[in-house]
């Protein structure tokens, strides 16, 4: 039985997710840009990173930090796990970023963030409030995704 399968046996959803996250991040630390992760593992990482960043400091923080370079991949990841409502919220937040596609370069994103207008900032706040309502169980969707793609988690 793999470590992922053992993690999926944990009854508490949060504990199960944390264990899976620990396994994947340990593997991810061994490379840059997650190239040593499978597509399914990357999907997990993109969703977890989005959730962590937005919950900690909003969309501003997501774009300011490294994970902002994975905006396109993150939208795809939300689709893959079936997070339709969250996808729409995040898609709108990404759409109003001052430059699209959102730059991969962190310095460019940070420069653009320094000049964000109040209308964009206010809209992000509104979208964050919608995000925080958690109309979808992101954790549950992630676990369902992992269960459906167990063999892709190594």
Kindly report, residue by residue over 29-58, the tens digit of the pLDDT. Answer: 888 889 999 999 999 999 999 999 999 999
Query: Distance between CA 141 and CA 147 in Å, rounded?
Result: 10
Q: Of 19-28, 29-38, 42-51, 142-151, where does mean pLDDT reach its minimum?
A: 29-38
Neighbour tally for 65: CB within 10 Å: 17
Domains defined for the chain, CATH in brackets: 3-152 (1.20.1420)
- As to burial, measured by CB atoms within 10 angstroms (0-12 exposed, 13-18 middle, 19+ buried), residue 63 is buried
pTM: 0.95
Does residue 145 contact residue 43 with C-beta atoms inside 8 Å? yes
Helix H or strand E encompassing 90: helix 84-95
User: Rounded mean pLDDT of the chain?
Assistant: 96
As a whole number of angstroms, the distance between CA 64 and CA 59 comes to: 8
Within 13 Å and on the Cβ side, how many CA atoms surround 146?
A: 31
Q: Tell me the CA distances in angstroms from 103 to 60, 71, 76, 111, one per residue in order.
A: 14, 9, 17, 11
pLDDT of residue 123: 98
105, 69 contact by CB (below 8 A): yes
Q: Which residues contact 56 (CB under 8 A, 6 or more apart)?
A: none
**DSSP 8-state code for residue 149:** T
Mean pLDDT of 107-123: 97
Whether residue 154 is predicted with pLDDT greater than 90 in this model: the reply is: no
Please write the tens of the pLDDT for every residue from 117-139.
Answer: 999 999 999 999 999 999 999 99
Contact between residue 37 and residue 24 where contact means Cβ atoms under 8 Å apart: yes
Q: Determine the average pLDDT of the residues in 92-118.
A: 97
Q: In whole angstroms, give the CA distance from residue 84 to residue 48.
A: 16
Mean pLDDT of 68-89: 98
Residue 149 has pLDDT above 90, yes or no: yes
């Amino acid at each position: 039985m793999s470590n992922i399968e053992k993690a999926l046996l944990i009854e508490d959803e949060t504990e199960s997710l944390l264990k899976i996250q620990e396994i994947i991040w340990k593997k991810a630390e061994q490379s840059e840009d997650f190239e040593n992760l499978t597509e399914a593992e990357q999907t997990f990482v993109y969703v977890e990173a989005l959730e962590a960043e937005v919950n900690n400091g909003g969309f501003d923080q997501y774009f300011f930090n490294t994970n902002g370079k994975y905006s396109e991949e993150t939208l795809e990841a939300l689709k893959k796990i079936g997070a339709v409502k969250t996808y729409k919220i995040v898609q709108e937040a990404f759409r109003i970023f001052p430059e699209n596609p959102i730059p991969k370069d962190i310095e460019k994103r940070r420069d653009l963030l320094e000049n964000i207008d109040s209308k964009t900032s206010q809209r992000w706040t509104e979208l964050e409030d919608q995000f925080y309502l958690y109309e979808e169980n992101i954790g549950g969707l992630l676990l369902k995704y992992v269960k459906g793609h167990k063999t892709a988690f190594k």
